[in-house]
Structure 1
């Protein structure tokens, strides 16, 4: 029988034992060498880092807002979200948000809620950073038919230096307080063809403001800005609908109830239909019914000396109905 030691030397390979990690036996250098191949976030551009963060979340476990926040917080940048437009009816609003970074990158997104719109805008901005979308695609209206170019609406230079979207702010304020939407009307237009000056009025409840500018769009923005500031700075906004002055305003003789109701129907996406009643009332007046295709459907009655007066009275009653139904 051969000695044990001789058997080991011929038929076995003795592996070296890894020394313990102690001050006398430091860790091998291969760990330090492997770390040299890891990319440093400080040496990456924003686009390169966006691709890295974007690819790490392939399963979509994070929301676009959180991914964008994680990407930018390392660079000390805070994304800014701005509400630029509210579309649709009161019961089905569509919000449009814009997110931008230091005026270098910007994108817009829409949604049925403000939260969804912010996520959509953040997703479009991430797609822009990683090269999946162009700047034009990231700022499109997301397929909303007939929607204006939001990029032009928000960032175009104006002589009056009005920033943001006061029309959207005012619309949101009225919706949140369940007021009738703002009513805009072109009051005046003067000047030479190449130097036109427009005046547009904005009316909310009993309040009225005017804006003047080199275009109807600018004049409308100025009027909305003045109205929004006036309502925002008002000490007690809760009693506006209950004011006696507002009731008197609706009863002015020169107030066009039919036109005003038609404008509200157009803005809030419901139809206004008048049905003239052939028979006279007991006191010999003309009669009329007006139907609003709201949810639920509303029918209001009106009477007057003529059919036109009856329609105006029916429209007046319909406006009063809407005022009552939109109270808090």
Structure 2
């Protein structure tokens, strides 16, 4: 021990203390003592965790792995979660666009996703939104969550900007005719149905109102051709929506087994003198927010009839032709052809 002390003392006497200070000074450059860099170690640990997570996911049954993925990846989209879950098992989900419905400017997309023997549906105002809804629905099925409302659009969707449906409104609309599914916009849906069948637009009339001023009950009748449905509600708007929904539902139920008389009405209603085709097209244009422009052609056809073109400012822009004995007849024929075009474009 004494020998060690003498050696250290000798070194310090020989200027060793200056060397020691210099060494410490080099370590304290900038007043910071360097510490070991553990970034690489942290990175390695992170990679290890991810690898362990992947191994656990691969080893578990599909339902348990799905539950693990949804807990471990809370910030991922449903599509990403499902993709990562299946990619580790050497497979991918199958998405199919099965339906596009609704107005031309406001379509609703419906996707079906298949994972092994599990199938789920999702709807949305865009294809991306519908895919996410479908992926979320199939994940819910895999982990055993109740999926009765799996087809409902994910939260970004708004049922009806003009008249959003609250739980109270839905209850009021449903009162009196069971627990039928209420469409988001029954008035618009019924209008589209009439357009697709070449029927005149629905007519609504006030039947009456009763009750105390703070408990009014309104009754509105919806009429289409020979069909008639009555709606009631605490406001005229609710009563109209209920009447439209009941009419839409009744026409949907009879769609597959309509009588010959109904078929005749459907085929001839546009040729009925009571139906103003030009006005009918204009009403649809106002409803769907596009413009209608008629252009009369000066030259007559080979058969000596007046000719007319009608332009629809839809996307894409459409131009339809019509001819008739008079200019008015030609416009009506062009309007009818435009309605035919819209029927094809909005067909489900």
Q: TM-score, normalised by structure 1?
A: 0.48
Where is the helix percentage greater, Structure 1 or Structure 2? 2
Normalising by structure 2, what TM-score?
A: 0.46
